[in-house]
Chains A and B, each alone.
Chain A
Amino acid sequence: MNDLLDALKEVEGVIGACALDRNGGLLGRSLPAYYDDDMLVQLNRRFEELFESSEEILPQPKVVIAQFSQTWLLGRDWPGGRLILFCGPQAHVPAVKTAASLTAKRLGKSLASPAPATPKPAARVAPAPASLQRPIPGKQQKTRSGIWG
């Protein structure tokens, strides 16, 4: 699980990712320590609300991207739950979507095949990159205009 999530960081601009099960439980993570487990579970609840409300305008949404001034998040459903990717401004949206789609398929396959009888590795936590440190109050953050611009 964590190997698949680690691999996502090879895509330019992807900061990390986490995977959650259908009940919102955290299955794995490869993210800076800045994002604690509780925050990821809460983020997933928000994604759940976004997916549910999106149903009204686009049936069966598979991907939801929420863009913020400092980063953007991609939520993608997979058979066992949801994958959430954290991306910096420089990440290329189509490339990240493709990577998320492949990883979702692989996660689905890994669930379908019997797990090897090895101890589950601890979740890996990497230090936060400079771009994701908590914003300094009063300091102007450089942001992009628009959602993809």
Chain B
Amino acid sequence: MRRIALLSSSALLADAVRQEIAGQADLELLLIESVATLVAQEQASQIAGIIYDAAPGAQPQNELAQLLTSESWARTPVMVLIPPTQAAGELKKVFPNIVTELSKPLKSGDLLQALDQLSQSTVELPSKTTPSPSMKSSPQEITQSLPGVTDAFMWSVSGQVEYASSARATQFNTTMGFALQVANRMGKEAELGDFTGLQIQSDEGSAVFFSALTDKKDQSQFRTFGLLMDGTADPETVMESLQAKVIS
């Protein structure tokens, strides 16, 4: 039995989907009104996929994005139902787990095909290799060689996630985006110069962000790095190692 969670508060949509899948004995549709309900009532291992209705007034994207960064839900495939006015590309930045999308209004037959694709898909944690040709080592090699580093991320100059060792990249992206804005304002207000990096430390570990040209001769090779470390890592040592590995 494939159990699909439809995350929508629209009874009309639920009816339309139910009619479409009527007769599919191996499909069970769960109408879930909120992310909180989904988490409270269902286990990730029991859900073959999530249909997210991206209609105006739908469930907040950030709540679902947050859920999909958790370890148990990170590999759950997602299908989005996209309103005519919205582009799928923007949603893919928020939900890396999107494996298929359908534009509304739904066309008969398309949904079943998309549901097959949804329930048969597996989500691999995002992990791209060597996006910056000037880097001496691949991001995976770098991450594995840095002791105490639990998560590593790399963003391009346009803010696209180019490498993520875990599905927490979305959460990091959101937090980093806000923190960078704050730090930039801080730099301007106090005339401290351009903001170049941030380090956060707690009893549990550290997080660092920094930006650098991975090739000093090529302005297009500007990258921002994010690292999450456990309490055993020394952030300064890790940063020095990382810089030595990525800057040529």
- CA of A63 to CA of B206 in the docked complex: distance in angstroms? 9
Known: A46-B189, A58-B207, A60-B203. Contact between A147 and B183, CB under 8 A? no
* Chain B interface (Cβ < 8 Å from any Cβ of A): 168, 171-172, 174-175, 178-179, 182-183, 185-187, 189-210, 212-213, 216, 228, 234, 236, 239-240, 243, 247
Least distance between A1 CB and chain B CB atoms (Å):
22
Q: Which of B174, B182, B205 contacts A46 (CB 8 A)?
A: B182
How many A residues are at the interface, by size bracket? 35 or more
Residues of chain A with a CB closer than 8 A to B168's CB: 57
Q: Which of B196, B200, B212, B239 contacts A61 (CB 8 A)?
A: B200
Stretch in contact with the other chain, from A4-12, A21-29, A35-43, A113-121? A35-43
Least distance between A20 CB and chain B CB atoms (Å):
15
Does B201 lie within 8 Å of A63, measured CB to CB?
A: yes
Q: Which of A62, A145, A149 contacts B202 (CB 8 A)?
A: A62
Residues of chain A with a CB closer than 8 A to B212's CB: 145-146
- Interface status of A54 (Cβ within 8 A of chain B): yes
Does B183 lie within 8 Å of A66, measured CB to CB?
A: yes
Does B202 lie within 8 Å of A69, measured CB to CB?
A: no
Residues of chain B with a CB closer than 8 A to A62's CB: 201-203
**Count of A-B contacts with CB under 8 A?**
139
Does B198 lie within 8 Å of A66, measured CB to CB?
A: yes
Known: A68-B194, A69-B196. Contact between A59 and B189, CB under 8 A? no
Q: Max chain B CB contacts within 10 Å: which of A43, A60, A146?
A: A146
Least distance between B77 CB and chain A CB atoms (Å):
25
Residues of chain B with a CB closer than 8 A to A99's CB: none
Does B190 lie within 8 Å of A57, measured CB to CB?
A: no
Does B193 lie within 8 Å of A94, measured CB to CB?
A: no
Known: A46-B182, A57-B171, A146-B247. Contact between A64 and B198, CB under 8 A? yes
Nearest A residue (CB) for B246: A146
- Interface residues of chain B: helix, strand, loop or mixed (majority): mixed
- CA of A49 to CA of B213 in the docked complex: distance in angstroms? 27
Least distance between B165 CB and chain A CB atoms (Å):
14
Q: Max chain A CB contacts within 10 Å: which of B198, B212, B243?
A: B198
Least distance between A71 CB and chain B CB atoms (Å):
5
Known: A146-B197, A147-B210. Contact between A60 and B202, CB under 8 A? yes
Known: A43-B186, A58-B204. Contact between A50 and B179, CB under 8 A? yes
Does A58 lie within 8 Å of B200, measured CB to CB?
A: yes
Does B193 lie within 8 Å of A141, measured CB to CB?
A: yes
- CA of A94 to CA of B199 in the docked complex: distance in angstroms? 12
Does A54 lie within 8 Å of B175, measured CB to CB?
A: yes
Nearest B residue (CB) for A40: B190
- CA of A29 to CA of B197 in the docked complex: distance in angstroms? 25
Residues of chain A with a CB closer than 8 A to B239's CB: 146-149
Q: Max chain B CB contacts within 10 Å: which of A39, A58, A70, A97?
A: A58
